[in-house]
Amino acid sequence: MKVIEVKNAEELSMVAYEKIVDKINSKEEVTLGLATGGSPLGIYELFRINKPNTAHVTTVNLDEYVGLNENDQTSYHSYMKKQLFNHLSFKANYLPNGNTTNLNEACKAYEEIIRKNPVDLQLLGLGENGHIGFNEPGTSFTSSTHIVELTKSTRNANKIYFENEKDVPTYAVTMGIGSILKAKEIVIIAYGLKKAAAVKEMLIGQVSDGCPATALQNHPNVTVVVDEEAYTLCKKMVLQ
C-alpha cells in the first residue's frame, strides 16, 4: 500500500480529489465507487466548487441504512444528493436499496450492478474499528453485498448525524469486502487521532477479519491518504 501523509483534512481532500479527477479524465467511461460519512465531505465540496465534467461517470456507493426512506434526510441517498448528485450531472448513480421488504433480492441486484460497472477507483473511509463500507469486524474477505447488523461502536460514531441516538438504524446494506476488493484502484482516506489505531492496524497489523481494512493489504493498487494525526501511531512504530 502506498501512503501519502498530509498535514490536515483540507490537504487530504485536495490530494484525494486530484487523484479522483485524474481517473475521471483518463478514460471515456469511468466508474467511481463512492463513500459517505464525514471523511469525504471536503472532496465533495471540491467537486461542487470545480465542477469537473462527470457526464461519462457512473457512481456506485458503498452502503445504505436499512429502513430509511430514500428521501429521509439521514439516508445516504439524501447525503449523496446533497453533497454531489444535485450539483453535477453523472451518467448514472447507484446506491444499495435499504428500504425494501426483499433485502436479499436487493443485495443480489446491487452485486449485479457492480458486476456490470466494474469500479475503476473506489474511495473509502475508515471506521474507528477498522470497518470499510459497513463491513464490521468478522466479515469474510470474500463477502459480496449483504445485510449487516451495525456494532455499538459504529452506531455511536454515526449518531451525530441523527436527532436522537435511538434513531440510528441497527442494520445496513453494504458492498462486501470481496466486492470492494474487485475495484481496480482504491483510495482510502482517514484523518484525526480517532482513526490512528485503525490506520496502524490497517497498514501494519496482521491480515485478519478482526480488522476489515487489513484486507486492503492483499490488493495491488491501494493509496492511503492520512493526515499527521491519523498517521501518528505508525510513525511512533518507525521511530522505536
Ligand X SMILES: N[C@@H]1[C@@H](O)[C@H](O)[C@@H](COP(=O)(O)O)O[C@@H]1O
Question: Exposed e or buried b for every residue in 64-80, given b needs 16+ CB within 10 A?
Answer: bbbebeeeeebbbbbbb
The half-sphere exposure of 20 on its side-chain side, counting CA atoms within 13 A, is: 33
- Determine, following the binding rule CB under 6 A, whether residue 158 of this chain makes contact with ligand X: yes
Cβ neighbours, 10 Å, residue 216? 21
- Determine, following the binding rule CB under 6 A, whether residue 127 of this chain makes contact with ligand X: yes
Q: Is-catalytic flag, 136? A: yes
Strands 185-190 and 92-94: unpaired
Between 65 and 117, name the residue whose CB sits nearer to ligand X: 65
- Determine, following the binding rule CB under 6 A, whether residue 125 of this chain makes contact with ligand X: yes
Choose which of 15, 16, 30, 62 interacts with ligand X (CB under 6 A): 62
- Determine, following the binding rule CB under 6 A, whether residue 176 of this chain makes contact with ligand X: no
> What is the distance between the alpha carbons of residues 238 and 38, in angstroms, rounded to a whole number?
29
Span of 8-16, 33-41, 196-204, 227-235 interacting with ligand X by CB under 6 A:
33-41
| Angle between helix 196-204 and helix 228-239 axes, rounded to 10 deg | 50
Choose which of 13, 39, 54, 97 interacts with ligand X (CB under 6 A): 39
Inter-residue contact 203 to 3 (CB < 8 Å):
yes
Query: Which three cell numbers mark 182?
Result: 474487485
Choose which of 96, 98, 130, 133 interacts with ligand X (CB under 6 A): 133
- Determine, following the binding rule CB under 6 A, whether residue 111 of this chain makes contact with ligand X: no
- Minimum distance from residue 100 beta carbon to ligand X (Å): 19
Q: Is-catalytic flag, 56? A: no
Span of 67-75, 109-117, 127-135, 206-214 interacting with ligand X by CB under 6 A:
127-135
Count of residues engaged in binding ligand X, rule: CB under 6 A: 14
Strands 185-190 and 30-34: unpaired
- Determine, following the binding rule CB under 6 A, whether residue 59 of this chain makes contact with ligand X: no
Nearest to 76 by CA among 133, 114, 131, 19: 133
Binding residues vs ligand X (CB under 6 A): 35-39, 62-63, 125-127, 133-134, 154, 158
Which of the residues are catalytic?
63, 129, 131, 136
